Every structure is written in C-alpha cells, then in structure tokens.
C-alpha cells in the first residue's frame, strides 16, 4: 500500500478574538499521497486556508502533528521550517506576487536559484506555454499570464508538493480554465502532490480526491474514479 507523503494528525487550531475562542480546525486528520491531485472544498471560513498554511509550515497548529515523508515537521524550528518551505513546496496564491521590475523569466529564475534541485526556468515557462513572454514585465502581461508565470515560478523549484490557494479566484472564466489546464498538466507530467483550495465545486471534478470541509472539520471525502480533464467539465 502506498505510504502518504504528507499527513495531518488530530490538528486543532484556535484563535482568540477578544473573549471569544474561534476554532478554525477541530481535531482534523488527513493523509495525502505522492502524485495525487486533491481539492479542498468548502465555504469561506471552513478551515481550508488554515489547514494549507499549517501543512505548508506557514502557521502552527494549537495541537496535533504534521508529518512530511514521516518526519515530524510540526516540531521544526523556524530555520527548519524555512528549509522545508524552500525545498519541498511550491506555493501558488490568488495574488500573483510577481516582482514588477523583473521580467517573467527573471521572476522564475529568482525562485529557482533558491532551490536544491531546480529545473531550468526556461523549461518551466515552456510547460506553462509562456516561453514567448519570457522577456515581458508583469505590467505587460494579462492576469492569466501573470498567474501562469507564478505557476512556472512554483514548479521551477521541482518540489514534491504544490499548494494552490484559490489560484483562479481573481481570474475570469476563460482565463481560469487555462490556469487549471496548466495545473492539471503539471500534476500529470511532474508528479507533484497537488492540493488546490477552492469554493468552486466544478473544479472538484479534476481531482483524485475531494475533501469537503465545514466548520473546521472534514465533512466528507469523495474519490473520483474517473477524474475529468478541464475541457470536459460541465461548468
């Protein structure tokens, strides 16, 4: 049986807002496997981003454990967490966060230079179909093009995990489809375990597994026996 690459065990996350204790996650446990495409689905406030931030070492759980390749990363110090994020995870957010004074290629190169075993930045741009925009600055690119550059930047690290927080949230429908096609291709060709946060239930049809969150807990897990390509989805 395949072993998980990433695992959360009994994760609880609470915030104090004045006199009120907010339970963002409640004793949540989940495993993720090498090469799978997973969608975290739920309404705003369901705990999706909190879970991804804890899995990615951007936030710490109040209690519980996180394992990456069977190593307990929830006990890592700040330096170890920095190395974990740098070497093991490509992050893609709703906002592109490209450096405006660098070209598309230079934005990708900047991240690739920090990684242990990066792919060539030019190759990352080619996978995303953006090699013809390599010398353009972010201000010369559309929103969808900027998001594809941000994906190229994330995959150039050649890391085993790819975390995507509402990657199409700021895009129109047509552009969002292009970005999702890029993510699906990256997952299939590079084999990175891909976790996508969304509130769009249609995107769930792309996934190997769909994890439904509600009020900080897993409400249901659906396995797609036949996951669809982006163009086959009934939007």
Query: Where residue 206 sits, what CATH number does that domain have?
Result: 3.40.50.300
Asked if the structure places residue 221 within a domain, the reply is yes
- 20: burial class by Cβ within 10 Å (0-12, 13-18, 19+)? exposed
Total structural domains within the chain? 1
Asked if the structure places residue 207 within a domain, the reply is yes
- The predicted-structure confidence for 168-180, as pLDDT tens digits, reads as follows 887 888 778 888 8
Confidence label for 54 from pLDDT (cuts 50, 70 and 90)? very high
Contact (Cβ atoms closer than 8 angstroms) between residue 5 and residue 68 = yes
- The predicted-structure confidence for 179-204, as pLDDT tens digits, reads as follows 888 888 889 888 999 999 988 888 88
Asked if the structure places residue 54 within a domain, the reply is no
Contact (Cβ atoms closer than 8 angstroms) between residue 197 and residue 38 = no
Domain of 109 in residue numbering reads as: 34-49+87-232
Asked if the structure places residue 62 within a domain, the reply is no
Q: Is 235's pLDDT higher than 70?
A: no
pLDDT at 156: 92
Asked if the structure places residue 129 within a domain, the reply is yes
**Nearest alpha-carbon partner for 73 in 164, 191, 161:** 161
Asked if the structure places residue 23 within a domain, the reply is no
The average pLDDT across 56-60 equals 95
- Which pTM was predicted? 0.91
pLDDT at 180: 86
> What is d(CA 81, CA 75) in angstroms, rounded to the nearest whole number?
9
Number of H helices, E strands in the chain: 6, 10
The average pLDDT across 101-110 equals 96
Asked if the structure places residue 122 within a domain, the reply is yes
Asked if the structure places residue 5 within a domain, the reply is no
Average pLDDT, the chain: 92
The average pLDDT across 102-111 equals 96
Using left for φ > 0, alpha for ψ between -120 and 50, and beta otherwise, residue 158 falls in: left
Task: Indicate the length of the chain as a whole number.
Answer: 235
């Amino acid at each position: 049986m395949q072993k998980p690459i990433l695992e959360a065990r009994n994760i609880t996350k609470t915030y104090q807002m004045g006199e009120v204790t907010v339970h963002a996650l409640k004793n949540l446990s989940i495993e993720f496997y090498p090469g799978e495409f997973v969608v975290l689905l739920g309404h705003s406030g369901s705990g999706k981003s909190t879970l991804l931030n804890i899995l990615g070492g951007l936030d710490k759980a109040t209690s519980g454990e996180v394992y990456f390749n069977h190593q307990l990363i929830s006990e890592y110090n700040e330096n170890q967490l920095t190395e974990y994020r740098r070497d093991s995870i490509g992050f893609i957010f709703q906002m592109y966060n490209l450096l405006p004074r660098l070209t598309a290629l230079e934005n990708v190169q900047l991240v690739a230079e920090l990684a242990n075993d990066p792919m060539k930045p030019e190759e990352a741009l080619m996978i995303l179909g953006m090699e013809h925009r390599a010398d353009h600055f972010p201000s010369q690119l559309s929103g969808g093009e900027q998001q594809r550059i941000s994906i190229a930047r994330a995959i150039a690290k050649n890391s085993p995990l790819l975390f995507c927080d509402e990657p199409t949230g700021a895009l129109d429908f047509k552009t969002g489809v292009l970005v999702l096609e890029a993510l699906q291709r990256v997952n299939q060709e590079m084999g990175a375990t891909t976790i996508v946060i969304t509130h769009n239930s249609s995107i769930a049809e792309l996934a190997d597994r769909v994890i439904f969150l509600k009020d900080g807990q897993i409400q249901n897990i659906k396995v797609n026996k036949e996951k669809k390509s982006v163009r086959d989805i009934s939007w």
